[in-house]
Every structure is written in C-alpha cells, then in structure tokens.
C-alpha cells in the first residue's frame, strides 16, 4: 500500500526536520526531487540542492514557527507556515508566511513548490477556501 502524501510529509519530513535528522529527510526524497521557490531564481533541481536548502533552514530554526497547518490533497500535501523567518527568502519579500505544496509518489517527495499565499497554494491543488 502506498503512503499518502500527508503521512510522508507530516510523519517523516516535518518530524525529521524537527529532530534535525538530515538522513531521514534524505530517505523521503526522490533523487530527482525539484523544489521551486517563490521566484524563478529560487530553484533546487536535485536532492543534493534540496538538502542543502533544508540544512540552511535547520540552522535558522531559532527564528521560530508561530503557526503550522497541513492540508491533505491526495498525492499532494500543502504545508502552510507563519513566523518571523518568513519575511524574506532568497531576497524575495514575504508577508511572514509561506506555503509549500509537496508532491509524493511511491512514498518519496518528488516535487516541492513554494507559494506566497495559502490561497494560491490551495488553488494549485484544486481546493477552494
């Protein structure tokens, strides 16, 4: 039985980041995973680049997350986060929040797409609020 995106993202990815276990994060990522940021220049095109980005975020964990919400969308999971760290990423201004849509296949994260707004991310997975 294939694991749902929610299980992979919540039980594995988010928990591994909380524990700062980069090997556990790596286990859940497809070697060809792509992470597209809020701007075209914010692109990680393979697992090594994505893991470098994850390590950088782990180093900045002290900024804190004030709200976290996860939404199930079948083979996708939407992660919405708020906190002081989300005012700027890669030179791009944010409003104190970020949404990431994870696409999962065969128990592995194959794509991550960042959105500036929760509504834009929800629309991308076919959910209206």
List the pLDDT tens digit at each of the 129 positions of the chain.
Answer: 357 898 888 888 888 888 889 999 999 999 999 999 998 889 999 999 999 988 887 776 556 789 999 999 999 999 999 988 888 888 888 999 999 999 999 999 999 999 999 999 999 999 986
Unique residue bearing structure tokens 């994060």: 25
Please give the helix or strand (H or E) that residue 81 lies within, else none. Answer: strand 76-82
Q: What share of the chain is helix, strand, coil (3-state, %, to 5)?
A: 35, 35, 30
Beta bridge partners of 77: 72, 102
- Contact at 8 Å (CB) between 96 and 83? yes
Could you tell me which CATH number the domain at 5-124 has?
3.10.450.50
Q: Domain boundaries in the chain?
A: 5-124
């Amino acid at each position: 039985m294939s694991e749902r995106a929610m299980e992979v993202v919540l039980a594995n990815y988010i928990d591994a980041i909380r524990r700062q276990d980069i090997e556990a994060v790596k286990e859940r990522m497809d070697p060809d995973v792509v992470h597209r940021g809020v701007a075209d220049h914010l692109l990680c095109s393979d697992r090594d680049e994505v893991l470098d980005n994850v390590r950088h975020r782990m180093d900045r964990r002290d900024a804190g997350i004030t709200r976290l919400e996860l939404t199930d969308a079948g083979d996708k999971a939407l992660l919405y986060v708020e906190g002081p760290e989300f005012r700027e990423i890669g030179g791009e201004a944010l409003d104190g929040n970020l949404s990431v849509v994870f696409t999962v296949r065969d128990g592995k994260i194959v794509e991550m797409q960042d959105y500036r707004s929760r509504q834009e991310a929800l629309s991308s997975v076919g959910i209206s609020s």
